[in-house]
Chain A
Amino acid sequence: MNKVMSNRLSIAIYVLPALLLVTILVFIPLILSAYYGLMKWDGIGAMEFIGLENYINGIKDEKFWNSAYHSFLLAIFSTLSLAVYLTVSLILASKIKGSDLFRKIYLIPMLLSSVAIAQLWIKVYNPSNGILNAILMNLGVKNPPAWLADPSLVLLAIFIPILWQYAGFYILIYYAALKNIPESLIEAAKIDGATPTQIALKIKLPLIKEVVVVTVVLAIVGSLKYFDLIYVMTGGGPNGASEVMASYMYKLAFSSYDFGYGSAIGFLLLVITLIVTFIIRKITATDEQVEY
């Protein structure tokens, strides 16, 4: 193995294909969109260079910051929900009966496509015919809310399927990490008289800290650039009440035909995500490597 790794050519062979693809599909478009952001462009006709106007407008755009606020709310909710997923995984990993079955049940939403999930929840939330309001009405609620049409509820209503969608994914990651902890450590703790709660909090959690950090980054970054369920379920409406940064960018570029401005917003989204990722890495950085 060492022999292979010391050969420059073979290193190149392993690295190059992926590097090429990433360059072509990620970095070049990235630079291009930053460049388009400097243009007044409807996406079809000729471009006109207008300097930083789009970026300045973006920074001053109330609608953009409103959508950014929604994205951050989603990020906070996703992060908080990680605690729930972690608890579930701790329980599942502690050899209870049927944990295998539960693990599979939690994974199901992940197997569905986003559009299918969106369609499912649109039906659940339907104000007149949806199952949710039918239940509420049977419980005696006279005038149940209109969920996706109510500006004050729509965001919450749409977060629930998003969190539900990713539950299985995070539970799976935590579960795998927990299963990786050597049995001998747990047994040693038991012999020393540790309670199950102590084992969970003082032994297991510190050992999977790295994994937790990774999931936090994934959850926050994923939330900041989240798009699909929102696009299908509300399109950002009513009147921007569920708009997030990515859906706002899409709306500008593809509905308003303002490609230049849309690109600028896309670039701002990237900058925001980078800053946030950097901050999280800074906060959670550890020197010590976990050694079992």
Chain B
Amino acid sequence: MKRRLFTTLLLSLAVTLLLVGCSESSTSSSDNEIKFMHLWPEGSSKHHYEIVNEIIADFEAENEGVKVDLEVLSNEQYKDKLKVLSTSKELPDVGMTWAAGFLEPYVGGNMFASLDDVVDGELADEFIPGTVEAYEIDGTTYGLPLELNIATLYYNTKMFEEAGVEAPETYEELIDVVNAFKEDGIQPIALGNRDAWTGSLWYMYLADRIGGGAAISNAIDRSGSFEDSALVEAAEKVLDLVDKDAFVKGFNGLSDEEAKSMFMNEQAPMYLIATWDLPNFTTNEDVPQEFRDSVEYLKFPTVDGSGDMNSFIGGPGVGLFVAEDSKVKEDAKKFAAFFIKEWGEKSVAQAGVIPATKVDASSLDLPQMYIDILDELTEASNITLFADVQMSPSVAQVHLDAIQALFGNEMTAEEFAKIQEEALSKE
């Protein structure tokens, strides 16, 4: 009898545990708690992480009774978790999103709140033109951009001197530089194309120089075509570069991180990347001073005499969203706006990020390369948003796979154009 009692107890315990595990655990949140999720863990983005904490502390001090509840995940996990949370309708009140194509499913699913009132009200005239627009869908803004990135070609001046070459300004000069390094037994360009968006940057710049700033965007928004001669020619130029062994060996199997470390270990003299890596080339104390001193950037060369060197590939990185069914929507919006305002100057000064808001850099003590790039931004004639961000997720995947195939010489320029054209017209 005793044993039976014991087993019954055990069973009921097991069932209770199971039920507890399944039940909602969010009963403890008070009315004025804003749940905030971001993707800068302390380990990999220490400065970002600290700035966020400072901003939260300031916000809590200014708004008595409001608490910000923080959750931090790294990039890829963040993306996965955001998706899972949105399916179960448990998005954080404020979180981070990417622009354009990434937004679409969330906006379509009515997950993100309109931020028009914030953008036109409190934050009017704060953003650099062209940044907040990337978060618009059908005229409504769903995200507040934090960063602005443009891609430039970084090169190692020391290695260039040793090889006796100058910074290239045209495609032909770039090929000469490539050949000069190859003769010295040095692999010219670091590229980690396992991630494919890295190769996409090269393709986009070539397309931009050959066909002008709008060529790719037009193909994506269907006012143009990927089979446009300029875009096919850009793909041919990619094949030309691959053919001339311009990129490091086995680039299709390397991640961007691996390529970056080749550039930073002075194994390859050139590396095309966006400004998010600027701290590595300027302020990051973990990188040897000698290397940082020898890094310079150049604007992507012109191709066959055409192209505007002040046209850039880039765009806003992450931005803030407010959840549509947030219980504390007004507070959440207030927090998002507060965050954007504080982020601007703090991110420039402490993290070396280029923010999407206008910042007076003259009062800050910044590295020269940083100031130069800020100047480039103000003089930029055009900034084309990264292709994989412009596209919807499924087309972006086709684009990235095609990029890998093109760079791997498994596809002709025409096939490359056709496969993307098909994917886009199916949408």
Q: Which residues of A contact B (CB under 8 A)?
A: 9-10, 13, 16-17, 20-21, 24, 42-46, 122, 125-129, 146-151, 154, 234-235, 237-240, 251, 254-258
| Bound form: Cα–Cα A237–B254 in Å | 10
Per-residue interface assignment for chain B, residues 12 to 23, with 1 indicating a CB less than 8 Å from any chain A CB and 0 otherwise: 001000100000
- Flag if B105 contacts A126 (CB, 8 Å): no
In the bound assembly, the distance between CA atoms of A21 and B69 in angstroms comes to: 32
B179 to chain A, nearest CB (A): 18
User: Are the C-beta atoms of A44 and B108 separated by less than 8 Å?
Assistant: yes
Residues of B with C-beta under 8 A to A148: 194, 250, 252-253
Q: A17-B14, A255-B393, A257-B393 are in contact. Are A234 and B253 (CB under 8 A)?
A: yes
Some 7 contacts from A to B, beta carbons below 8 A apart, are A9-B4, A13-B11, A45-B110, A122-B258, A238-B193, A256-B394, A256-B396
Q: Is the CB of A42 within 8 A of B250?
A: no
Cβ of B405 under 8 Å from chain A: yes
Complex contacts, A24 vs chain B, CB 8 Å: 18
Measured between beta carbons, the chain A residues less than 8 angstroms from B404 are: 237-239
Smallest Cβ distance from B242 to chain A, in angstroms? 12
Q: A237-B404, A238-B194, A240-B401 are in contact. Are A146 and B250 (CB under 8 A)?
A: yes
The answer for the CA separation of A172 and B406 in the assembled complex, in Å, is 45
Asked whether B109 lies within 8 Å of A258 as measured between CB atoms, the reply is no
CA distance A147 to B258 in the complex (A): 15
Contact A239 B267 (CB under 8 A): no
Across-interface contacts of B262 in A (CB, < 8 A): 128-129
CB-CB under 8 A from B392, the residues of chain A are 257
Q: Which residues of B contact A239 (CB under 8 A)?
A: 252, 401-402, 404-405, 408, 410-411
In this complex, what residue of A is CB-closest to B80? A254
Q: When A and B form their complex, which 8 residue pairs have the shortest distance between CB atoms, in order from nearest?
A: A146-B250, A148-B253, A127-B250, A45-B109, A149-B253, A149-B250, A149-B252, A239-B405
Within 8 A of A (CB), among B294-350: none
Q: Nearest chain B CB to A155's CB is how many angstroms away?
A: 12
Query: Which residues 61-117 of B sit at the A interface, judged by CB distance below 8 A?
Result: 79-80, 83, 86-87, 105-106, 108-111
Bound Cα distance from A17 to B14, whole angstroms:
7
Within 8 Å by CB of B258, from A126, A238, A251, A255, lies A126
Residue pair A44, B86 in contact (C-beta under 8 Å): yes
A126 cross-chain contacts in B, Cβ below 8 A: 250, 254, 258
Could you list 17 further interchain pairs (A-B, Cβ under 8 angstroms) beyond the known A128-B187, A234-B253, A255-B397?
A: A9-B4, A13-B7, A17-B11, A24-B18, A44-B83, A45-B110, A128-B249, A129-B267, A151-B410, A237-B196, A238-B194, A238-B410, A240-B401, A251-B397, A254-B79, A256-B393, A257-B394
Q: Does B203 interact with chain A (Cβ within 8 Å)?
A: no
Question: Would A16 and B11 be within 8 Å (CB), given that A128-B248, A146-B250, A149-B252 are in contact?
Answer: yes
Instruction: State the CA gap A10–B252 with chains docked (Å).
Output: 59
Instruction: A134 to B120: give the CA distance in the assembly, Å.
Output: 60
Chain B: interface residue total (CB-CB under 8 A):
43
Q: Tell me if A44 and B105 are in contact (CB < 8 A).
A: yes
Interface centre among A46, A151, A154 (most CB of B within 10 A): A151
A128-B249, A149-B408 as given contacts; A13 in contact with B105, CB under 8 Å? no
A238–B252 contact, CB under 8 A?
yes
Q: Main secondary structure on chain A at its contact with chain B? A: loop
**A257: which of B105, B194, B254, B408 is its contact (CB, 8 Å)?**
B105
Q: Which residues of A contact B401 (CB under 8 A)?
A: 237, 239-240
| Measured CA separation A126–B194 after assembly (Å) | 13
Chain A proximity mask over B264-280: 1 for CB below 8 Å, otherwise 0: 00010000000000000
- B251 part of interface (Cβ distance < 8 Å): yes
Determine if B371 is an interface residue (Cβ-Cβ < 8 Å).
no
Shortest CB distance A26–B (Å):
15
Question: Does any Cβ of A come within 8 Å of B57's Cβ?
Answer: no
Q: A235-B194, A255-B393, A257-B393 are in contact. Are A43 and B83 (CB under 8 A)?
A: yes
Nearest CB in chain B: distance from A137 CB, A: 12
Question: Chain A nearest CB: distance from B387 CB in Å?
Answer: 15
B253 lies within 8 A of A146 (CB):
yes
Interface pair A127/B397, CB less than 8 Å apart: no
Task: Report the separation of the CA atoms of residues A31 and B10 in the bound assembly, to the nearest whole angstrom.
Answer: 30
Q: Cβ of B253 and Cβ of A125 under 8 Å apart?
A: yes
Measured between alpha carbons, how far is A129 from B86 in the docked complex, in Å?
Answer: 42
**B408 and A238 within 8 A (CB):** yes
Which residues of the other chain, B, contact A43 by a CB distance below 8 angstroms?
A: 83, 86-87, 105
